A and B are shown apart, each in its own frame.
Chain A
Amino acid sequence: MLTKDELLGPLARLRTSEIVVTSMSVVRPWARYSDSDLDFASADSAMGHTADLALGLALAQPCRKVICLNGDGSMAMTLGTLLTITESGAPNIVLIVIQNGSYEITGNQRIPGAGRSDLAAMAQGAGFERVYRFVEGTDYRRRLPEVLEGAGPVFAGVAVEQGSEGPITRSEREQARYLRTSLAEWSRHLRKALLSEEQYLSKRSPRSRSS
């Protein structure tokens, strides 16, 4: 079983231009590794709707990878999204599900199926191109580059120790930059960043230069 640092540290080191969408118990920990404009916290939002939001981003930005750090409790709320992802054909989404078997934010109550169910098998059954299971850090670190490279959709279930993250707020009291503002404001911020880059790239394209 990995610690959150063992999960997030290697990911932060390998991350380049990917959008990273976080949820629940990794929202704050991820911000200790990253302060990117391309981070998005699915917080002060609706539980269970992180993977589907990340899929929308992936479909909108087909030239960019979207890494979604979802919880197993959140994933359980919308298992159908596994089918929606594969049906969409989006090759640029990497869905990493943090499996701690509990609702950490509300006090580590057990989630249905914890220890008995197999989310990776469900992803496989839903038609994910590549499916990984990680239960210890060495294997995770060794294979993470493979997880992030190439076409997907990719599912990685990672067994992670239970922690003690409390409820997430959006306020000046939070350390993470993406939590120190409203969800609406950060959404406009990220959208503007993505559109600005698109405009910049389209101006640099050969067709634009010749016209």
Chain B
Amino acid sequence: MSGPTDREPRASVLLGALLDAGATHLTGLPDGMWAPLLALAEEHPRITYVPVTREGEAFALASGLWLGGRAPVVCVQNCGLLESGDSLRGVAVRMGVPLLILVTYRGLSTIRAAGFDPLETDLTPRLLTRPDVDSGALLTEPTLRAWGIPYRFYGSDADAPLVAEAWAQAERDAHPMALLITQALS
């Protein structure tokens, strides 16, 4: 994971890395953290953005795109990832789709500031109902682990090579792979 940076990761750099890796379609539900990427993708001639009405659709739609020979990328907020459980499990994973998933890690800074390590924290009912705790952020990494989805962190432009590396791993394993976007794109 990249270290702290003064500069937000640029959407243009991420889009460039996706295109270099061969991405043909981007599908998902808009989120403020990746909105700049969406704006660029919608205007770019080499990638097609396909909006969905809920995140679970994006995983099935992307699996259909892959089945038809294309190279889709799913981009969702972490809460949208939680919404997508059975679609990711039953469609993308069961089909063996080498799918790159970009997940915006909303709430990460608040749980870090509160001193929580998502993988070491006891997820008690008391904790999960605390108004100052982002339960979506707390559950993101444990959920990916439970679902068997490997992941890495994308937090600055220096992480752009991770796109090709993650996709190569997904292809090698015939299995989805996630990149957690830890800072809003600019």
Q: Restricting to B48-94, which residues have a CB under 8 Å from any CB of A?
A: 48, 50-54, 56-57, 59-70, 72, 86-87, 89-91, 94
A84 near B69: Cβ-Cβ < 8 Å: no
Most A C-beta atoms less than 10 A away, residue of B48, B61, B86, B89? B61
Q: Are B60 and A194 in contact (CB under 8 A)?
A: no
Least Cβ–Cβ distance between B67 and chain A, in angstroms: 5
- Asked whether A80 lies within 8 Å of B67 as measured between CB atoms, the reply is no
**Contact A53–B61 (Cβ < 8 Å):** yes
| Chain B stretch 71-119: residues in CB contact (< 8 A) with chain A | 72, 86-87, 89-91, 94-97
Q: Bound complex: CA of A163 vs CA of B50, how far in Å?
A: 36
A57 touching B95, Cβ below 8 Å: no
Q: Which of A52, A194, A195 is close to B57, meaning CB atoms less than 8 Å apart?
A: A52
Which residue from B51, B57, B65 sits with its C-beta under 8 Å from A57?
Answer: B65
Would A53 and B64 count as touching, CB distance under 8 A? yes
Contact mask A75-90 → B, CB, 8 Å, 1/0? Answer: 0001011011001100
**Which among A24-32, A99-107, A182-190 touches the partner chain?**
A182-190
CB distance from B60 to the nearest CB of A (A): 4
Check if A195 sits within 8 Å of B69, measured CB to CB.
yes
Does B54 lie within 8 Å of A53, measured CB to CB?
no
Interface of chain B residues 106 through 146 with chain A (CB within 8 A): none
Q: What is the chain A residue whose CB lies nearest that of B93?
A: A184
Q: Which residue of the partner chain, among B61, B66, B69, B96, contacts A52 with CB atoms under 8 Å?
A: B61
Give the residues in chain B near A57, CB-CB below 8 Å. Answer: 64-65, 67-68
**Residue of A44, A45, A188 with most partner-chain B CB within 10 A:** A45
Q: Chain B CB within 10 Å — which of A48, A49, A190 has the most?
A: A49
Size range of the interface on A? 35 or more
> Residue on B with the closest CB to A80?
B53
B62 nearest CB neighbor, chain A only: A56
Whether B52 contacts A61 by the Cβ 8 Å rule is no
Q: Report B21-34 CB contacts with A as 1/0, cut-off 8 Å.
A: 00001000000000
In the complex, how many angstroms separate the beta carbon of A147 from the nearest chain B beta carbon? 21
Decide yes or no whether A55 CB sits under 8 A from chain B.
Answer: yes
How many residue pairs, one in A and one in B, have C-beta atoms under 8 Å apart? 116
Residue of A nearest to B65 (CB): A56
Q: Across the interface, do B64 and A184 meet the contact criterion of CB distance under 8 Å?
A: no
B174 within 8 A of A: yes
Contact in complex: B64, A52 (CB < 8 Å): yes
Determine the residue in chain B with the shortest Cβ distance to A197: B69
Interchain CB contact under 8 A, A191 and B50: no
Q: Which residue of A lies closest to B86 (CB)?
A: A46
Contact A60 B91 (CB under 8 A): no
Chain B's nearest CB lies how many Å from the CB of A197? 10
A1 interfacial by beta-carbon distance below 8 Å:
no
Nearest 8 Cβ contacts at the A-B interface: A56-B64, A60-B68, A46-B90, A80-B53, A184-B96, A49-B60, A52-B60, A56-B65
Which residues of A are at the interface with B, using a C-beta cutoff of 8 A? 40, 44-50, 52-61, 78, 80-81, 83-84, 87-88, 182-184, 187-188, 190-191, 194-195, 198
Report 29 cross-chain contacts, Cβ distance below 8 Å, ordered by A residue: A44-B90, A45-B90, A45-B91, A45-B94, A45-B95, A46-B86, A46-B90, A47-B90, A49-B59, A52-B60, A52-B64, A53-B64, A53-B67, A56-B60, A56-B64, A56-B66, A57-B64, A57-B65, A57-B67, A59-B25, A59-B48, A59-B50, A80-B53, A83-B53, A84-B51, A183-B95, A184-B174, A187-B95, A191-B68
13 new A-B contacts, CB < 8 A, other than A53-B64, A60-B70, are A45-B95, A46-B91, A50-B60, A53-B60, A53-B61, A55-B64, A56-B64, A59-B70, A60-B67, A81-B53, A187-B67, A191-B69, A194-B68
